[in-house]
Structure 1
Amino acid sequence: MSQLDLRGLTKRFGAVTALAGADLTVPAGTLTAVLGPSGCGKTTLLRCLAGFERLDDGEILVDGRVVAGPGKHTRPERRHVVTVPQEGALFPHLSVRDNVAFGLTRDERRSGRAEEVLELVGLAGYGDRMPHHLSGGQQQRVAVARALAPRPSVILLDEPFSALDAGLRADLRRDVRAALRADKATGILVTHDQNEALSVADQVAVMRDGRVLQSGPAVEVYRRPVDPWVAAFVGEAVFLPATGPDLRTPLGPVTADEVPDGSRDLTVMVRPEQIVLAPGPGVEATVTGHDFHGHDATVALLLADGTRVTARVPGHAVPVSAGEVVGVRVEGPCRVWRAQLDR
């Protein structure tokens, strides 16, 4: 296991600054998902970590060892960092076992390491098969096994599930996460899929304009985003104006873990699942429509003051119809900032 430290990473391509002082720590034996919109610097970050690009400034340390920094650029093959690309890029003329064992020494091959990692990724007994006999998901499992085989210091996963259908993608990412944990590997997963990042990673790092805006456990980033932009990027969010120490909003008074001092004009973030449709005390709202997603549904609501909000309810609890008047209230603590809705 190796800890990865990124300190002030800067990378420019002509007039374009792809990384603008990115900082991130990945604890040993954990998986960090790097999340951000297209052009935020995710891929450049990965390429700098792998050694495919030279930094203009900053340092990369693997277990305390500087592999990139001022006057220092360790070649990719000497970093003990491996990359799993979007497409598995298996050698078509080699068997599954030989693909996995490609980077191993003779002694490591004799030790049964290839079979060990194939079992970790759920492909025990597949060693004699050829890549073209495997499904897309199985090929990606082989690619992960090949990356794990030499016990690298860090594994970089570049959107490895993006080409797969939704059901297969969910199963594969869960099994890959289990394999990384079983092998005590340190990993970085680059993705644009918020659900993937939140569900699979020990830590989520949100990037924008070449910087890491926030990193931490998924639940912390989701519930306590540093600003409205991060809040809206990692999940659906309802933003409401609030006043006073009692946090009065169009949805009624809400609670918060922390309220900024010395400000009466505030912005409150409410997640749609916190908006409960229920009889009894609450604010009246008119249903303007709903979208059914199977496991849950989103309900569009119009409040009396003209504010529009969206609630998320369980899929089995959608008895409402357009035009119906319902009571709504907010449950659980909300995130609060001084008034700022420029996202």
Structure 2
Amino acid sequence: MSEVVLTGVVKRYGPVTALDGVDLTVPAGALTAVLGPSGCGKTTLLRCLAGFERLDAGAIRVDGREVAGPGRHMPAHRRRIAVVPQEGALFPHLTVAANISYGLDRADRRGDRVDEVLALVGLAGYGDRMPHQLSGGQQQRVAVARALAPRPSLVLLDEPFSALDAGLRAGLRHDVREALRADGATAVLVTHDQGEALSVADRVVVLRSGRVVQSAAPGTLYREPADQWVAGFVGDAVLLPAVASAGAARTPLGTLPIAGPTTDGPVTVLVRPEQLRLAPASGTDAVTATVLRHDFHGHDALVALRLADDTRVTARVWDSTDPVEVGAEVAVRVDGTVRAWPATPVPAPAAAADPRPVHPVA
């Protein structure tokens, strides 16, 4: 298991700064997801870790060994870092076993490492098959097995499930996570899919404009986002204008208790859709709303609402067997505390920084 530490990493492409002083620690044996919008620097970060790009400043250490730094650039083939690209990039003329053993030394090729990693990814007995005989999901499993086979210091996964169907993607990413854990691998997953990052990673790093905005466990990131941009980017969010005073915020949904420190005055409040509770409208002082839309998702439903002051909010309803009628009036209340930040403009995502593809390390 190898800890990876990035210190002040800067990477520029002409006038564009793709990474702007990135400080990041990837814990040994953990899966860390790097999440962010297009152009935030995710792929550039992966390329710098892999050794495909030289740093303009800063340093990268893998298991205490400096692989990039001032005046130093260890070539990609010497870093013991494996990359799983978006599409498996298997050699079409080689069997599954030959694809996996391609980067192994002679001793490991004669041993049982190939069978071991095939079992880890759920493909025991598939060694004699050719890539064209496999489904897309199976090919990605082989790509992960090939990455794990030489026991690399670090495994980099570049949106490896993005080309797969949604149903297949969900199951495969959890199987791959279990394979990485069983092999004790340290891994970095680059993704733009918030659900993917939150569901499989031990730690999630959010990038914006080439900088780390927040690095935390998935639950902490969701419940305690660093700012309103992260709140809106990670999961569904209801962001409301409010005025804070004495630990509470006056909002269109009523006066709500604030969790964590805040200053009095104008703020932006975060309410997650699952905090909103709906009930039949009554003559009490409850906040009322009109139902605009009811989107059924099977396990739950999202209900779009318009408050009396024309504010739009969304509630997540878990018992969705009896849908709320569009046009009906309902009472709305907020369950629990809210987060709040001083009212400031939300920054826009940066322009795309590096369109070049990532290639696997042999």
Common fold, TM-score beyond 0.5? yes
Deviations 1:299-322 (A, max 9, x none): 111112221111111262452112
Give 1:109 shift. 2.1
Q: Which amino acid aligns with 2:342?
A: R
Partner of 1:327: 331
Partner of 1:192: 192
SS of 1:220's equivalent in the other structure is: helix
List aligned pairs for 1:154-173, cutoff 5 A.
154-173=154-173
| Whole-angstrom CA distance in 2 between matches of 1:23 and 1:165 | 34
TM-score (norm. length: structure 1): 0.96
Partner of 2:241: 241
Which residue, 327, 336, 342 being the options, matches 1:338? 342
| Whole-angstrom CA distance in 2 between matches of 1:190 and 1:174 | 15
1:339/1:189 CA distance change after superposition, 3 Å: same
Partner of 1:46: 46
SS of 2:340's equivalent in the other structure is: strand
Partner of 2:139: 139
Higher relative contact order by CA 8 Å / sep ≥ 6: 1 or 2?
Answer: 2
SS of 1:197's equivalent in the other structure is: helix
Which residue, 251, 259, 262 being the options, matches 1:260? 262
Partner of 2:357: none
Partner of 1:102: 102
List aligned pairs for 1:59-208, cutoff 5 A.
59-208=59-208
| Whole-angstrom CA distance in 2 between matches of 1:315 and 1:247 | 29
**Conservation of the 8 A alpha-carbon contact between 2:291 and 2:327:** yes
| Whole-angstrom CA distance in 2 between matches of 1:321 and 1:278 | 12
**Conservation of the 8 A alpha-carbon contact between 1:84 and 1:155:** yes
| Whole-angstrom CA distance in 1 between matches of 2:319 and 2:133 | 39
**Conservation of the 8 A alpha-carbon contact between 2:225 and 2:231:** yes
Q: Which amino acid aligns with 2:334?
A: V
Partner of 1:308: 312
- 2:219 counterpart of 1:215: no
1:241/1:317 CA distance change after superposition, 3 Å: farther
Q: 294-303 or 155-164, which moves further after superposition?
A: 294-303
Deviations 1:275-329 (A, max 9, x none): 1112577321111222222222111111122211111112624521122111111
| Whole-angstrom CA distance in 2 between matches of 1:304 and 1:205 | 38
Q: Which amino acid aligns with 1:309?
A: V
Alignment length (residue pairs): 342
Q: 278-287 or 208-217, which moves further after superposition?
A: 278-287
| Whole-angstrom CA distance in 2 between matches of 1:174 and 1:39 | 27
Deviations 1:130-179 (A, max 9, x none): 11110010000000000000110000000100110001111110100000
Q: 69-78 or 218-227, which moves further after superposition?
A: 218-227
| Whole-angstrom CA distance in 2 between matches of 1:264 and 1:212 | 28
Q: Which amino acid aligns with 1:180?
A: L
Q: Which amino acid aligns with 1:118?
A: L
Q: Runs (4+) of structure 1 moved beyond 6 Å?
A: none
| Whole-angstrom CA distance in 1 between matches of 2:238 and 2:345 | 11
**Conservation of the 8 A alpha-carbon contact between 1:228 and 1:341:** no
Query: RMSD of the TM alignment (CA)?
Result: 1.4
SS of 1:259's equivalent in the other structure is: coil
| Whole-angstrom CA distance in 2 between matches of 1:203 and 1:317 | 35
Q: Which amino acid aligns with 1:57?
A: A
**Conservation of the 8 A alpha-carbon contact between 1:86 and 1:158:** yes
| Whole-angstrom CA distance in 1 between matches of 2:172 and 2:339 | 33
Q: Which amino acid aligns with 1:250?
A: P
1:212/1:257 CA distance change after superposition, 3 Å: same
Give 1:269 shift. 0.4
Q: Which amino acid aligns with 2:260?
A: E
Partner of 1:272: 273
TM-score (norm. length: structure 2): 0.91
| Whole-angstrom CA distance in 2 between matches of 1:78 and 1:337 | 46
| Whole-angstrom CA distance in 2 between matches of 1:305 and 1:316 | 27
Q: Which amino acid aligns with 1:212?
A: V
Give 1:341 shift. 4.2
Q: Which amino acid aligns with 1:59?
A: A
Give 1:24 shift. 1.1
Q: Which amino acid aligns with 2:62?
A: V
Q: Which amino acid aligns with 1:123?
A: L
Structure 2 unmatched ranges of 5 or more: 348-362
**Conservation of the 8 A alpha-carbon contact between 1:83 and 1:157:** yes
Structure 1 unmatched ranges of 5 or more: none
**Conservation of the 8 A alpha-carbon contact between 1:259 and 1:337:** no
Q: Which amino acid aligns with 1:242?
A: A
**Conservation of the 8 A alpha-carbon contact between 1:251 and 1:329:** yes
SS of 1:25's equivalent in the other structure is: strand
Deviations 1:248-284 (A, max 9, x none): 21112223321314x2322210111111112577321
- 2:286 counterpart of 1:285: no
| Whole-angstrom CA distance in 2 between matches of 1:40 and 1:26 | 19
